[in-house]
A and B are shown apart, each in its own frame.
Chain A
Amino acid sequence: MARWDLRQRLVMLVMLFTFALGMLAMLHGAPVSGASTMYTADFTALLITIGLLAMIFIGAYLFPKWIGADPLLMTMMNFLCSLGVLVQYSISRGSGLYHALWYAIGSILMVVVSLAVRRVKTLRRWWPHLAILAAMLLIAPLFNTVNGAHAHIPIQRVTDAVTGRSIITLSIQPSEGVKILLIILLADMLSGHSWRPDSVWAMGFAVMCVGLLIAEDDLGTCVLYAMTALLMFFAATGSFTLLFTGVAGGAGSAWLVYQNTGKFRTRVEQWLNPFMRVMDDKGGVGLKGYQIAESLMALAAGGVHGLGYGIRDTFRWVPEYSNDFVFSVVCSQFGAVFALAVLAVYVVILFRGMRIAQRARRRFHALLAIGVTALIGFQTFVIVGGVVNMFPLTGVTMPFISQGGSSMLSCMMLMGILNGVYACADQDEQDARAILGQYSAVRSTFIWTTREVGG
């Protein structure tokens, strides 16, 4: 009973948070034209809030019944998604609507993936096809440059009327989809009985993905792939030799990239001296680590309790505040205590993911859960560490909160995998209990039979 009470309490708390934040978003609305000190009520925010509340309820009560999803995981994920949608809405109305749209599509995909995981037992015959698909998806962006990297495929471009420059308004990031393929393929390759030959294929596939990401200059995703693959190998083999070899290889590769890539060297210098004053191209004086410096100032401005939702003064100078630096926005609006609570929610999701991996009866499912958990954990760690200047900044998104359709969809699909593994583990536990019931029934029948015989 205690479990159900806790569920009700948690769902109520998350719904209360979403409702309060949504009401604030509605009151904030948009400035009345010509009067910068007046706000009008925004009923679009009200509609979004109702939708988010419905999603929280469906995730906590209906998805567990329909697809066997984990209610705790769903509630925590919906809390982060609601926060993401409303924070994006505070940044710009279009951004919030865009995020809500991808959240809805991602929820449908999550259900589909969750059901698929319960049915798929092995993908051995599809290994070559999936590996080729992954390679093609990673090679495709090499021919396009977006934001200084070759990680995106532009879908829609507009020409700026003033400058005449071409601006990309919509693009997709194939590496977000390939990370799902990476986890599924590695889990399948490493779960077989003859893991030694299969692990060579797995290693080859992981190295290929990492190599292509280095070629794309997408170092953040490259680090994610490498760490996730390494952890999955360690989970599958239990070999410390392999782990240390992988870490040493990764460190060596990082050194080589540092020596030969100007972009990465610049990132490290910015990380070490973010407030160093340098001359810019136009002869002015700027900060060497402009992005990180602005981010740190936004964090400091938020203080313990934040400046309040919708207050834009503190983060407006932070570059990419809806993508890479969305954690700075959360800190400045809600404060350090709330930001730590958000990080703790990620930790709860990670612990839950590891617990699901422990409960999984099939090796394939266990490795899937480990891979998904590791990926979400590393991604959060890498971006938050970059934003607070713990280590060099890499351009990855914060799961469920950062703006970006590809990121949102991939995160939701990852959660679909976790929920599918959870459902399978639940089913196996129910089977085991049925057997246990049989054992008790057998014992009772035996007593009954011997009594009849004796009588």
Chain B
Amino acid sequence: MTKPVYDALSLSLSYLFMALGVAIVLCGAAWARADRRARKAASEPSTEAVGYLKLTGGTSKRVSPKQWFPVPVEGTVGSARACDVYIPSAEIPGKAGRFTLTQVGMLFSPVGGGSVSVNGIAYRVPVLLDEDSRVEWGSLSFQLNLLDGARDLAAARITPPLSDGSTVEEEPSARRLFRLRRGSPLDSVESDESAETDESDESDEIDYPVDTDDADELTESAATDAE
């Protein structure tokens, strides 16, 4: 190819490159905006609060008396800013624990080897919180209040008796679905040995009791039954 021909071709293609450059920027910006909107729409329900932690006792510099902290369906609680329930107090560990709303109530799992006092008993293992449970860290005391929908879910923990006095067996897949490691006073920090064992078993991550397929299956079966 001769130089003049190449120069003419190169100059004419420079208009194409200019147009492509502008189109790439516009398309990239549109993609970024669409992605942001889609993610925002998808994540909105997860920010819904199902209850509140209300400060009922103790004082702290940056926490007002009777202050309420919204509790979402699942998340972490602690004095680190990254926590979903951020309580700015030096008496609370950076990441005190994780909580998950389950069929049987609000499950709280202390993390990092720390303990939490629930209704006056110290736990180092996952513990179920009921409505009005008193949760304490240091001198700070909080009361858990669940909203109506969550309270109904917590109530499902007690299976009502049938007319003949017997109780209904839980649906097997549901039992498998919500297999939880419940904490009991026997697992409290009073027993050092058991506490150590529990600590080793317990990691920061909770084994979520949900299998997505099971959850879908359950939803479908419930819908079928409702029909």
Chain A residues within 8 Å of B, Cβ to Cβ: 2-3, 6-7, 9-10, 13-14, 16-17, 20-21, 24, 27-28, 36-39, 41, 72, 75-76, 79, 192-194, 305-311, 333-335, 337-338, 341-342, 344-345, 348, 351-352, 355, 359, 361-363, 366, 429, 431-453
**Given contacts A24-B10, A345-B28, A438-B210, are A363 and B82 in contact (CB under 8 A)?**
yes
Docked complex Cα distance between A257 and B14 (Å): 43
Docked complex Cα distance between A41 and B222 (Å): 69
- Contact between chains at A439 and B101 (CB < 8 Å): yes
Which residues of the partner chain B approach A305 to less than 8 Å between Cβ atoms? Answer: 14-15, 18
Most interface-central of A16, A79, A433, A444 (chain B CB within 10 A): A444
- Contact between chains at B21 and A334 (CB < 8 Å): yes
**Given contacts A6-B34, A10-B27, A307-B11, are A338 and B18 in contact (CB under 8 A)?**
yes
Query: Can you list 11 pairs linking A and B with CB atoms under 8 Å apart?
Result: A6-B31, A7-B31, A17-B21, A21-B17, A338-B14, A338-B21, A341-B24, A437-B210, A440-B215, A441-B177, A446-B153
Docked complex Cα distance between A451 and B156 (Å): 12
B198-227 interface bits toward A, Cβ cutoff 8 Å, 1 = contact, 0 = none = 000000000011101011101101110110
- Contact between chains at B73 and A444 (CB < 8 Å): no
Which residues of the partner chain B approach A434 to less than 8 Å between Cβ atoms? Answer: 208, 210, 212
- Contact between chains at B160 and A344 (CB < 8 Å): no
Docked complex Cα distance between A450 and B3 (Å): 85
Most interface-central of B27, B81, B162 (chain A CB within 10 A): B27
The A interface is mostly helix, strand or loop, or mixed, namely: helix
Docked complex Cα distance between A21 and B30 (Å): 24
The B interface is mostly helix, strand or loop, or mixed, namely: helix
**Given contacts A309-B13, A361-B82, A440-B215, are A445 and B43 in contact (CB under 8 A)?**
no
B79 at the interface (CB under 8 A from A): yes
How many residues on chain B are close to A (CB under 8 Å)?
A: 77
Chain B residues within 8 Å of A, Cβ to Cβ: 1-4, 6-7, 9-11, 13-18, 20-25, 27-32, 34-36, 38-39, 42-43, 45-46, 73-74, 78-82, 93-95, 100-103, 149, 152-153, 156, 159-160, 162, 168, 170-171, 174, 177-178, 208-210, 212, 214-216, 218-219, 221-223, 225-226
B195 nearest CB across to chain A (Å): 23
A60 nearest CB across to chain B (Å): 11
- Contact between chains at A444 and B7 (CB < 8 Å): no
Docked complex Cα distance between A444 and B221 (Å): 9
- Contact between chains at A38 and B74 (CB < 8 Å): no
Which residues of the partner chain A approach B46 to less than 8 Å between Cβ atoms? Answer: 432-433, 435-436
Docked complex Cα distance between A72 and B3 (Å): 38
Which residues of the partner chain A approach B35 to less than 8 Å between Cβ atoms? Answer: 3, 72
B119 nearest CB across to chain A (Å): 24
